[in-house]
Structure 1
Amino acid sequence: MSTVRIKEVAKLARVSTATVSHVINKTRFVSDDTKRKVLYAIERVGYTPNIHARNLASGQSRTLGLIISDITNPFFPDLVKSIQERALELGYDVIVLNTNYEPERDSRYVQRLLELRVRGVMILTTEMDLSVIERLSSREIAVVFLDIGKVGPHTSNIRVNYEKGVHEAVEHLLELGHRQIAFISGPVRFKSAQFRRQAFLETMKSHRASLHTEPLILEGNFRLESGEHLVREMLTLKSRPTAILAANDLMAVGALRGLGRAGLKVPKDVSVIGCDDISLAELTDPQLTTIMIPRTEIGTAAVEAVLQTNSAQGREIKISTQLMVRQSTHAAPLLK
């Protein structure tokens, strides 16, 4: 029936069945005029390609897999959008799968993507078991990670330069006179959280002589509520911080809320800096100073890398950051 339908499309469009196949599969250049005729004929005939059969025949599909850790985190929508748009430009669709920080979903999702014979997989989660990753590599499926991967055959890694961003954030606070700076970390089992935490410690260590106390680090979970909870904990300390750097914007927004509910004003009493530069950062009152992570650049790089990472050795792609100074940072209280 499929062959019959293709012949009907070819007859109506006045082209060969091979041309119809090239338009459907995007396997060869076809002029815009011819493409329009074929697409019009497909619509008239009501032909629907059997994608699963096509994938079985070719061994691959024009589909990419995307595994993320938390679809409710405002960091991801812009990132997913940029991935989908770049993939569409290159003739690919994207299947988005959300783990919700539940590692047991990883194996199930990878198996599903293998069944669909995807061209490649982008893994933008906080962690993934090595055995799950090896299942993809053993099938020679290209994989691109965000922060958590190692470069190797079929595998590339996008590495955000958290060191630069955190260094700029801490230097900004030090220039404002802050010496008691607290850091709200993400879960230390996550590599991205480790990178940000280590960058904070190294920057503070380089200024040890001018600091009043040892750096204060509290561990959150990347969610808003943990930022608010940890601020309440900080406020019970005898020597409370005059500035807070959070490992992501959601925890920073939680810190803003916690400080406000405690009757403290930001930035008059306490300065706050986040990380990510999600859209919410410009909607808070005061607007949040934050480390901008370029999600559109990451998304574009992820798609291009996964399509270029085949049997060849993968590569590491470095992404820079930028400190966005807004309204939530000010001179330390003692300097006023």
Structure 2
Amino acid sequence: MSRRVKAAADPNNGVRFDIRDVARLAGVSVATVSRTVNNVPTVNTAMAARVRDAIRELNYFPNTQARALVSGRSRLIGLLVPDITNPFFPELIKRFEETAVKRNYELLIGSTNYDSEIQHCLRRLIERNVDGVAIMTFGVEDPVLGDLSTRHIPMVFVDVSQEAFPQDAVMIDYRHGMEEAVRHLVALGHTEIGFISGPLNQHSATLRRIAFHESMAAAGCIPKEKFIVEGDHQLEGGMAGMTKLLDNPKPPSAVLCSNDLMAIGALRTLQTSGLRVPEDMSIVGFDDIHLAEFVNPPLTTVRMSQVELAREAIQVLIARIEKLNPADHPASQPVSTRLVIRGTTAPPRPRPRRK
């Protein structure tokens, strides 16, 4: 490359190169550059290598908007989550983004604040011309389907009830992980086991509560209604739920929580009540957020694979976007869950009175 071109390629001098400059430097056609940038596998290996070398030397960045105009596809995938402040969802978003980028798509996030912002989020996704939407928010199926279906925008529901319309869905096997958690507590000697559910207007919270009841029955235990309270999947909900359970003359010796945030809130209430975990009460969470292993004591919880969840959802959604033959891609499998034993569970023993 000439000294003049090298100087021009310096990103600090403000010069911007386009696809024709890359083609000229690489000695190939503009079409070959385009196919290389779009990862078309039929491009000659040597030509593709020259194109990539030229892209690096010129510090060239493809114009994605121009590509979208030509192809009619934005290569944007929308992801709707209910609460971006819940640590589970940023961790999940990271996995979604990693998976989408590998498939040459970008991610556009909408946090619905448990549905109060749903219409604003939908409008933003539609205005950006997303190719498809993955939906992890709850109880909004009808408005989502109405706005997206009429525009023929493919969607995949992640663990959301969508009985009114036959859309694709990725489901989660709550029962397996919950059954492992109940069996673990029963094996330790617990028979009085409580449960703090999420808000029951959310489909996933209802499924987790059902999984708890079924797991207790499978273990030969009868859940007591006074030991089952409704929370809100927030720290405060776990604190309030545990306060209600402790108001019982004889509280349960172990408590499962519908998610890790509530389990951490429950831990807080126990500690401020002068009770020790796991000596005075065992606690089990659900989700296995990154924070779970760093609380004191480290939280025993049910892990839901975020990598598996993102992979299944992106696979289903891209198959719909690209109109793949169902025979060409495997059917979505329920996302697995499994127990991770840490420091918040132990055999029951008589608890001291609260201070």
Question: TM-score higher than 0.5 here?
Answer: yes
The offset of 1:121, in angstroms, is 1.3
Q: Tell me, yes or no, if structure 1 residue 63 matches structure 2 residue 76.
A: yes
The offset of 1:278, in angstroms, is 1.2
Whether contact under 8 Å (2:194, 2:223) holds in the other structure is: no
Say if 1:55 and 1:152 are closer, same or farther in 2 by CA, change over 3 A: farther
Whether contact under 8 Å (2:282, 2:346) holds in the other structure is: yes
Identical-pair percentage? 39
Say if 1:154 and 1:239 are closer, same or farther in 2 by CA, change over 3 A: closer
Uncovered stretches (5+) of structure 1, i.e. residues with no partner: none
Q: Which residue of 1 aligns with 2:85?
A: 72
The SS at the match of 1:309 is: helix
Q: What is the CA–CA distance in structure 1 between the aligned matches of 2:163 and 2:55, rounded to whole Å?
A: 43
Say if 1:204 and 1:214 are closer, same or farther in 2 by CA, change over 3 A: farther
Spell out, residue by residue over 1:184-207, the C-alpha distance to the aligned partner (whole angstroms, 9 max, x if none): 000000010000111112333456
The SS at the match of 2:77 is: strand
Q: Output aligned runs, 1:129-278, within 5 Å.
A: 129-150=141-162, 155-206=167-218, 211=222, 213-214=224-225, 216-278=227-289
The offset of 1:141, in angstroms, is 2.4
1:110 equivalent among 100, 118, 122: 122
The SS at the match of 1:319 is: coil
Q: What is the CA–CA distance in structure 2 between the aligned matches of 1:200 and 1:305, rounded to whole Å?
A: 28
Uncovered stretches (5+) of structure 2, i.e. residues with no partner: 1-16
Q: Which residue of 1 aligns with 2:3?
A: none
The SS at the match of 1:80 is: helix
2:338 equivalent among 319, 322, 330: 322
Spell out, residue by residue over 1:153-199, the C-alpha distance to the aligned partner (whole angstroms, 9 max, x if none): 98321111111211221222222222221110000000100001111
Whether contact under 8 Å (2:141, 2:161) holds in the other structure is: no
Say if 1:46 and 1:279 are closer, same or farther in 2 by CA, change over 3 A: closer
The offset of 1:295, in angstroms, is 0.8
Q: What is the CA–CA distance in structure 2 between the aligned matches of 1:75 and 1:12, rounded to whole Å?
A: 46
Whether contact under 8 Å (1:70, 1:99) holds in the other structure is: yes
Spell out, residue by residue over 1:268-294, the C-alpha distance to the aligned partner (whole angstroms, 9 max, x if none): 111100001112221122221111111
Q: Which residue of 2 aligns with 1:51?
A: 64
TM-score normalised by the chain length of structure 2: 0.83
Say if 1:211 and 1:297 are closer, same or farther in 2 by CA, change over 3 A: closer
Q: What is the CA–CA distance in structure 1 between the aligned matches of 2:56 and 2:254, rounded to whole Å?
A: 61
Q: Which amino acid aligns with 1:235?
A: L
Q: Which residue of 1 aligns with 2:13?
A: none
Whether contact under 8 Å (1:157, 1:315) holds in the other structure is: no
Q: Which residue of 1 aligns with 2:96?
A: 83
Q: Which residue of 2 aligns with 1:289?
A: 300
Q: Which residue of 2 aligns with 1:16?
A: 29
- By relative contact order (CA 8 Å, sep 6+), the higher-ranking structure is 1
Whether contact under 8 Å (1:152, 1:315) holds in the other structure is: no
Say if 1:176 and 1:47 are closer, same or farther in 2 by CA, change over 3 A: closer
Q: What is the CA–CA distance in structure 2 between the aligned matches of 1:214 and 1:95, rounded to whole Å?
A: 42
Q: What is the CA–CA distance in structure 2 between the aligned matches of 1:145 and 1:126, rounded to whole Å?
A: 10
Out of 289-298 and 55-64, give the one that drifted further: 55-64
Say if 1:105 and 1:267 are closer, same or farther in 2 by CA, change over 3 A: same
Q: What is the CA–CA distance in structure 2 between the aligned matches of 1:176 and 1:285, rounded to whole Å?
A: 21
TM-score normalised by the chain length of structure 1: 0.87
The SS at the match of 1:302 is: helix
Q: What is the CA–CA distance in structure 2 between the aligned matches of 1:77 and 1:240, rounded to whole Å?
A: 34
> Number of residues paired by the alignment?
330
RMSD over aligned CA atoms reads 2.8
Whether contact under 8 Å (2:227, 2:251) holds in the other structure is: no
Whether contact under 8 Å (1:69, 1:125) holds in the other structure is: yes
Whether contact under 8 Å (1:275, 1:290) holds in the other structure is: yes
Whether contact under 8 Å (2:199, 2:233) holds in the other structure is: yes
Q: Output aligned runs, 1:292-303, within 5 Å.
A: 292-303=303-314
Give the ranges of 4+ consecutive aligned residues of structure 1 lying more than 6 Å apart after TM superposition. Answer: 151-154
Q: Which amino acid aligns with 1:58?
A: S
